[in-house]
Structure 1
Amino acid sequence: MTGPVLITGGSGFIGSNLADSLLSEGREVLVLDNLSRPGVGQNLDWLQANHGPRVHALRADLRDEAALREATRDASAVIHLAAQTAVTTSLADPLDDFEVNARGTINLLEAVRATGRRVPVLFASTNKVYGCLEALPMAEAADRHLPADERLRANGIAEDQPLDFRTPYGCSKGVADQYVLDYARSYGLPAAVLRMSCIYGPRQFGTEDQGWVAHFLIRALQGEPISVYGDGKQVRDVLHVADAVAAYRTVLANIDALSGRAFNLGGGPRNAVSLLSVLREIERIVDRRLPVTHGDWRQGDQHWFVADTARLTQATGWQARIGWREGLADLASWLRAHRVRISEPMSEPAPVPKRVRA
């Protein structure tokens, strides 16, 4: 490949880890980010300090079509991670959520199409495209909800699960998911979708609304109370960011064979954890009981979601390698070592400048 890899949301948690992986091999990366999320400016500073002039930064928003045309002009590939990421925010402002996630993705796809080149596009989708899964008969164990179907417990939810968009966030990400796949079909764009479960790891600035694993750890390390919405028995398959980066890179490397396909990306049944089980493990890490309060269930929450990642494994050989306890200890070590101060988000994105070199 020639030209930089464009990573939208490249200063974010997954984006900065992915950028670091590419930059460490001598690639050039164009980071497009509006820097509106708390902490991401620190990630960009870290990338620039470690990789110097091979990091190209463009502070811009997905709604700025001119900026996207500038960003894609020389790109050798696009990894589209930028998004409005919280269900709660989407419920408060569904129009903004749509403009960023749905319209912003079409803006990006059109910018890529306008290059006249076959530029690969990978899109970060979500397990929320499968809805709340309330039709699944469920059982309840001591610390977790489980599907009654033993096959689902063993394998997880596969990509043939019907799509069922719920909440504005689920709708906007689901629309974007389908547009990316259709641009592969309609325009021959080499594009694929990764429907992610809960990704966690270093450089994550988790909040109550998004990034719950890191949020729990940050609160615990700071000695602050933790709020759990629902009974805490909801289950997710968590995936360390190093494994997520490996998945993106292997799909990109095989994009000609994988174009037009969607893949689940999560930790799978071996890394299926309830919120209560994660809280117990954090108590072991910090060596004290955690003050935990419970609130009502939040709209759109899934009682249980575990990804079946067999399609991705069969297509590429990828599999999750870092167990959740090992990964949680790794994140705790990073948080302790860095003592990262999360700055307040900026009130609004700044005007789009020319491309800035480190």
Structure 2
Amino acid sequence: MPGHYGIIRSGMPDSIPEKEPLPLRVLITGVSGFVGRHLASILAQETDWELWGWARRSWTGIPNRLQLARVDLRDPEAVRQGLALVRPEGIIHLAAQSDVAESWKDPWGTFETNVRGTLNLLESIRALGLQPRVLIVTSNEVYGLIRPEEVPVREDHPFRPANPYGISKAAQDWLAALYATAYAMPIIRARPFNHIGPGQDPRFVVPSFARQIAWIEAGLQDPVLWVGNLEARRDFTDVRDVARAYRLLLERGEPGEVYNIGSGRPRSIREVLELLLSMTQVNVRVEVDPQRIRPVEIPISAADTARIRERLGWEPRIPLEQSLRDVLEEWRARARAEQRRPGR
């Protein structure tokens, strides 16, 4: 519904006592997504910030201190109304269509969500005369086709996006830079590389492998594990470390600046699969599914993270092996629940 701003649930009091200083009021867009849920949980546990979240849907386990509203960022009036109500002092903009494969199937839907949503947010901030610190989260996919000799990639590396998602995130990145310069808005940009962890959609590579292994262990799937390109090399970081980086950037990032977030170490998809298979006793046959091969594949990607390490002291803490085990255990629990489901 155009202009609709709907409260889903509130964990905040109806009023705040007079003369009590307000904590930083922070809005997370896309809060019900993979990263948003982890970020909201961390901020609820570790800060006294007043937390607001925008999402298209609710989810289980919403932090008690989070006030959640249903807002479609593609609707400019809904965005304006929402900002007028919240009047945030900080914004972490996560809302996006983030699946590369989906962007090939629906490029316009990806552009509308990622580019129009960001433009509506920035225009509404400007129209209302607000001055929140804004963290715009784009993607390593803006760098696109990277040659091996160019790894690790610095923030000044040229954009060569290789899929509709990457192009949409490049446009989002440029919009953020433009509004920071043209309107003196305190905008910080983050370019995270591949991040993994519990709660990620099985359309992505690590939960796809983990789900298949767990289903095979439980007898819910034949012992065939379907894969795409195993030779591509990616820079994997745990989502909980990425969420910590977002908090630091909102607090202490330099307005107008951009920061890579990653481990700095490229790992082949084959290595990730082998690590997961080392955590199970089942024997599987690995088969390539042509539907999982992308029209354009980026062979290697890894971040130069000197800027965020040296200026903010951020380092990833969670090793890849722990991230993979946590994802596999999550899918094992889901497999057990599936076995108990009536009718099986």
Is TM-score (shorter-chain normalized) higher than 0.5?
yes
Query: Given the alignment, which residue of 288, 307, 310 partners 1:311?
Result: 307
* Aligned residue number for residue 125 of structure 1: 138
* Aligned residue number for residue 53 of structure 2: 31
| Deviations 1:284-337, CA, capped at 9 Å, x for gaps | 112223332214441232111111111111221111121111221222234434
Quick one: which amino acid aligns to residue 318 of structure 2?
I
CA distance in 2, matches of 1:229, 1:275: 9
CA distance in 2, matches of 1:324, 1:221: 19
1:180–1:191 CA contact under 8 A, matched in 2: yes
Q: Does 1:45 align with 2:51?
A: no
2:89–2:133 CA contact under 8 A, matched in 1: yes
Query: Given the alignment, which residue of 83, 96, 111 partners 1:83?
Result: 96
Query: Given the alignment, which residue of 213, 218, 221 partners 1:220?
Result: 213
1:195–1:263 CA contact under 8 A, matched in 2: yes
* Aligned residue number for residue 61 of structure 1: 72
Query: Given the alignment, which residue of 81, 93, 109 partners 1:70?
Result: 81
TM normalised by structure 1 equals: 0.80
Quick one: which amino acid aligns to residue 286 of structure 1?
T
* Aligned residue number for residue 352 of structure 1: none
2:23–2:48 CA contact under 8 A, matched in 1: no
Quick one: which amino acid aligns to residue 267 of structure 1?
S
Q: Does 1:277 align with 2:298?
A: no
| Deviations 1:123-161, CA, capped at 9 Å, x for gaps | 12111111222xx2xxxxxxxxxx3x4xx56xx111122
Within-5 A mapping of 1:142-291? 147=148, 149=149, 156-207=152-203, 211-223=204-216, 224=221, 225-230=224-229, 232-255=230-253, 258-269=254-265, 272-291=266-285
CA distance in 1, matches of 2:306, 2:114: 27
| SS across alignment from 2:111 | helix
* Aligned residue number for residue 288 of structure 2: 294
Q: Does 1:104 align with 2:117?
A: yes
Instruction: Please tell me whether Structure 1 or Structure 2 has the larger radius of gyration of its CA atoms.
Output: 2
| SS across alignment from 1:193 | strand
User: 1:109 deviation in Å?
Assistant: 0.8
CA distance in 1, matches of 2:277, 2:164: 35
TM normalised by structure 2 equals: 0.83
Which sections of structure 2, spanning at least 5 residues, go unmatched? 1-21, 339-344
Quick one: which amino acid aligns to residue 215 of structure 1?
S
CA distance in 1, matches of 2:99, 2:328: 23
Q: Percent identity?
A: 33
CA distance in 2, matches of 1:107, 1:245: 24
Please identify runs of 4+ aligned residues in structure 1 that moved more than 4 A: 337-342
CA distance in 2, matches of 1:303, 1:317: 30
Quick one: which amino acid aligns to residue 138 of structure 2?
S
* Aligned residue number for residue 15 of structure 1: 36
Distance 1:335 1:159, change over 3 A: same
* Aligned residue number for residue 113 of structure 1: 126
CA distance in 2, matches of 1:65, 1:3: 25
| SS across alignment from 1:176 | helix
Quick one: which amino acid aligns to residue 212 of structure 1?
V
CA distance in 2, matches of 1:112, 1:193: 16
| Deviations 1:19-69, CA, capped at 9 Å, x for gaps | 11111233332221113xxxxx4xx3211xxx32x2212122111112212
1:22–1:28 CA contact under 8 A, matched in 2: no
User: 1:8 deviation in Å?
Assistant: 1.1
2:215–2:332 CA contact under 8 A, matched in 1: no
User: 1:341 deviation in Å?
Assistant: 7.6
C-alpha RMSD of matched pairs (Å): 2.1
Distance 1:90 1:13, change over 3 A: same
CA distance in 2, matches of 1:339, 1:12: 22
User: 1:338 deviation in Å?
Assistant: 5.8
1:30–1:71 CA contact under 8 A, matched in 2: no
| SS across alignment from 2:278 | helix
State the aligned residue count.
306
Quick one: which amino acid aligns to residue 192 of structure 2?
M
Distance 1:170 1:3, change over 3 A: same
| SS across alignment from 1:46 | coil
2:53–2:68 CA contact under 8 A, matched in 1: yes
User: 1:339 deviation in Å?
Assistant: 5.6
CA distance in 1, matches of 2:108, 2:200: 27
- Of the two structures, which has the highest relative contact order with CA contacts closer than 8 Å and spacing of 6 or more? 1
User: 1:251 deviation in Å?
Assistant: 0.7
Which sections of structure 1, spanning at least 5 residues, go unmatched? 36-40, 137-146, 343-358
1:6–1:72 CA contact under 8 A, matched in 2: no
User: 1:13 deviation in Å?
Assistant: 0.9
User: 1:2 deviation in Å?
Assistant: 4.1
CA distance in 1, matches of 2:74, 2:55: 12
